Amino acid sequence: MHKAHFNYCQYSSRYQKYLDGLNPNTFNPAFSNGSIMDIGFYCIAAAVFLFGGPQKVLASAHLLPSGVDGHGTAILSYPDFDLLISHSKVTNSHLASEIQGEKGSIIIEHIAECDRLTIQYSNGEVEHIELPQAENSMYYEAEAFAQRIQHKGPYTSQHSLTVANLLSEIRKQTGVHFPADAV
């Protein structure tokens, strides 16, 4: 493996309300929200689950006048590869996420759901893998939370702590501050 790109950019249905001068929770720092916390989280969590914590992170973001990030990027540096994360609440993207290696690439259509994977081998072969999902995609988050309470499943406290620390570091580097940070 040499490179990866995790992408989650989804135009928020509440963004127009924000542009119209309203203050929906999606773009309100009082709710500790914004792009990295809302949907960028899925990219970060997938990276930590698959590869562990990075050695270094470098982040940038576009801050809205409210103080939250509308979109941003982060580079997670591992010993042998870099992982680029793109996240946005103010634009749509139709790009998949991808893990690249010498023998091929794994293409993940929806990083938050991982319902379809395509393996594109360097020799031209293609393998499609579909993973049936529950109708309510939040089911898996609730299940993981319940397993964590029962000390079962693949997620650990260290995994959660690594994700939380990465989110905090990304916010620090991009200048996103929440009132809850002072608590």
Q: Within a 13 Å sphere around the CA of 136, how many CA atoms are in the beta-carbon half?
A: 6
Is residue 33 included in any domain, yes or no? yes
Q: Is the dihedral angle over the CA atoms 139, 86, 164, 19 positive or is it negative?
A: negative
pLDDT at position 87 over 90: yes
Residue 42 maps to which CATH number? Answer: 3.30.360.10
State how beta strands 97-101 and 3-9 pair: antiparallel
Is residue 145 included in any domain, yes or no? no
Is residue 153 included in any domain, yes or no? no
Is residue 115 included in any domain, yes or no? yes
Assign 146 a pLDDT band (cuts: 50, 70, 90): confident
| Residue 99, CA distances (Å) to 36, 46, 116 in order | 21, 12, 14
> Measured between alpha carbons, how far is 33 from 163 in angstroms, rounded to an integer?
16
Domain around 78: 3-133+163-174
Is residue 72 included in any domain, yes or no? yes
Average pLDDT estimate for 87-114: 95
The model carries a pTM of: 0.88
Over residues 42-54, the pLDDT tens digits come to 999 999 999 999 9
Is residue 60 included in any domain, yes or no? yes
The total number of structural domains that make up the chain: 1
Is residue 62 included in any domain, yes or no? yes
Is residue 7 included in any domain, yes or no? yes
